[in-house]
Amino acid sequence: NAGVMQNPRHLVRRRGQEARLRCSPMKGHSHVYWYRQLPEEGLKFMVYLQKENIIDESGMPKERFSAEFPKEGPSILRIQQVVRGDSAAYFCASSPRSMGAYQETQYFGPGTRLLVL
Amino acid sequence: KQEVTQIPAALSVPEGENLVLNCSFTDSAIYNLQWFRQDPGKGLTSLLLIQSSQREQTSGRLNASLDKSSGRSTLYIAASQPGDSATYLCAVKNQAGTALIFGKGTTLSVSS
On the question of pLDDT at A1 being above 60, the answer is: no
Residues of chain A in contact with residue B93, where contact means CB-CB under 8 angstroms, are: 99
Judge contact between A48 and A56, C-beta under 8 A: yes
> What's the pLDDT at B56?
94
Nearest CA in chain B to A9: B41
In terms of CA atoms, which chain A residue is nearest residue B35? A105
Would the CB atoms of A4 and B100 count as touching at under 8 Å?
A: no
List CB contacts (< 8 A) between B35 and chain A.
none
Looking at chain B, the number of H-run helices and the number of E-run strands are 0, 11
CB atoms within 10 A of CB B47: 20
* Surface-to-core class of residue B79, CB atoms within 10 Å of its CB (0-12 exposed, 13-18 middle, 19+ buried): exposed
CA distance A116 to B72: 38
Give the side-chain half-sphere CA count within 13 A for B94: 16
| pLDDT per residue as tens digits for the range B90-105 | 999 887 778 899 999 9
Question: Per residue in A8-25, pLDDT tens?
Answer: 999 999 999 999 999 999
Q: What pLDDT does B15 receive?
A: 97
